[in-house]
Amino acid sequence: MEPWVWIVIGVVVLAIVIALVLSASKKRKQRQQEERARRDRENREHARDLRTHAEEQDITAREREAAALQQQAEAQRARVEADRLEQEARRRTEAAEEARHQVERERADADALDPDLSGDSDLTRETADRPHPDEDPTHGRHAADGDTTRADGRP
């Protein structure tokens, strides 16, 4: 064979090898682009899922914050109510103490006016409040004796 035929065969083989390398390179680039596009789609979906989850978490956090604020308001109302009740209790205690003092003053006035409660008598306030035997028409009588007349004269 002639040398020029070998040169043509070499050039053709070289052209086929170059074509195969270029074709393989082009397919590899295409696969890389497809892989990159698939990863980009997956990343977009994942980012969308993360955003949705973040929005849900934000809503949950705001609901918890609102519940906490509501509980704080309820606690404040309870404190105000407790203060009001405490003030009412103090006012009523003061009124009760004033009533006790008034009762003590009235008892002291009654003791001062009662002739049976002199300083040297053994009478107490309870015995002094009972009717004197001379003033009680039913003194010494029993219902079994048949006398059903009351002190005011009515049967």
Predicted local distance difference test score (pLDDT) of residue 96: 97
CA angle, 42 then 45 then 50, to 5°:
125
Contacts of 149 (CB under 8 A, 6+ apart): 155
Residue-level pLDDT at 128: 55
Q: Give the integer Cα–Cα distance in Å for 151 and 136.
A: 7
Chain mean pLDDT for the chain: 85
Residues in the chain: 155
What is the distance between the alpha carbons of residues 74 and 72, in angstroms, rounded to a whole number?
5
For residue range 93-131, list pLDDT tens digits in order: 999 999 999 999 999 999 888 887 765 555 555 555 556
Report how far apart the first and last C-alpha atoms of the chain are (Å, whole number).
Answer: 168
Q: How far apart are CA 50 and CA 69, in angstroms?
A: 28
In 3D space, the residue among 97, 132, 129, 89 whose CA is nearest the CA of residue 113 turns out to be 129
**CA atoms of 155 and 148, how far apart (whole Å):** 6
Give the predicted TM-score (pTM) of the model.
Answer: 0.43
All residue ranges of the chain with pLDDT < 50 are none
